[in-house]
Amino acid sequence: MGTFDGKRGLIFGVANKNSIAWGIAQALAEEGAELGFSYAGDFLQKRVTPLAESVGSSFIEECDVTNDAAIDELFAKVGDHYGGLDFLVHSIAFAPREDLGGRFVDTSREGFRVALDISCYSLVALAKRAIPWMPQGGSMLAMTYYGAEKVTPNYNVMGVAKAALEATIRYLAWDLGKEQVRVNAISAGPIKTLASAGVSGFRKSLGYVGSVAPMGNVTQADVGNAARFLLGDWAQKVTGEVVYVDGGYNIMGAPEMDSLEG
């Protein structure tokens, strides 16, 4: 018996076994959820398919979230396959590599547009198509980072995109609450993945956060556990929230001075 028995959900953003989305998928599968997977491009198919199959999934579809027609097509298939949905996980972000380092003021117009489109607007586009399949209510979850709130050098335009994403969570929660659909985000501490490797200086920041946070660095499994709560029935009236899964990093105002060099 699992707490997700009989629940069907779609997971966006598994790129490989290190993806946070995969940590979430495993946690939900352990609780009995029926999972469908959507991946970004053909080149990911051979990575995502065996992972999805290992948790018993038979719905594995490509969808580039910058393409409305592709999203429409995907949700038509969701309807045919499941006839309804209980939850959706958005674990997607992208910004051009040249905009994830150096000075924020040098962000290009195109880099800004792409980052906001893929990392933020896509949640709106997916939510709109998911709603008709959640007539009994449901739950949505997105992934964010502390760089939305406080300056994190090199995170740059992605910090701005995450700030927009966090505001989007609240506006969606307002709209969709009337339909008994909850919308929340997890603000995770840094985890080594394909996406994070693209941020300049990531390795050092992982070490720094690990040394400052009361409970050190977090794992994909830690995020998966929180996702179980937020997507499941125990979080029945929790909506519009950004929940930290960061080992407590966000509560710190300064690192322990003895740990600093000099």
* Cβ at position 141, least distance to ligand 0WD in Å: 11
Examine the residue annotation and report whether 145 is marked as an active-site residue of this protein: yes
Pick the catalytic residue: 145, 146, 244, 249? 145
Known catalytic residue at 121: no
**Residues 6+ away with beta carbon under 8 Å from 162:** 93, 119, 120, 144, 145, 147, 148
Whose Cβ is closer to ligand 0WD: residue 45's or residue 236's?
A: 45
Could you say whether residue 126 binds ligand 0WD (CB under 6 A)?
A: no
Asked if residues 139 and 180 have their Cβ atoms less than 8 Å apart, the reply is: no
Residues 40, 88, 126, 169: which binds ligand 0WD (CB under 6 A)?
40
What is the DSSP secondary structure assignment for residue 39, as one 8-state letter? E
160 lies in the binding site for ligand 0WD (CB under 6 A): no
Q: Which of 65, 88, 116, 140 binds ligand 0WD (CB under 6 A)?
A: 65
Cβ-based nearer residue to ligand 0WD, 20 or 140: 20
If binding is defined by CB under 6 A, does position 196 make contact with ligand 0WD? Answer: yes
CA distance 123 to 92: 9
- Report yes or no: 256 and 218 within 8 Å, Cβ to Cβ: no
How many residues of this chain interact with ligand 0WD, rule: CB under 6 A?
25
Q: Are 180 and 190 in contact (CB under 8 A)?
A: no
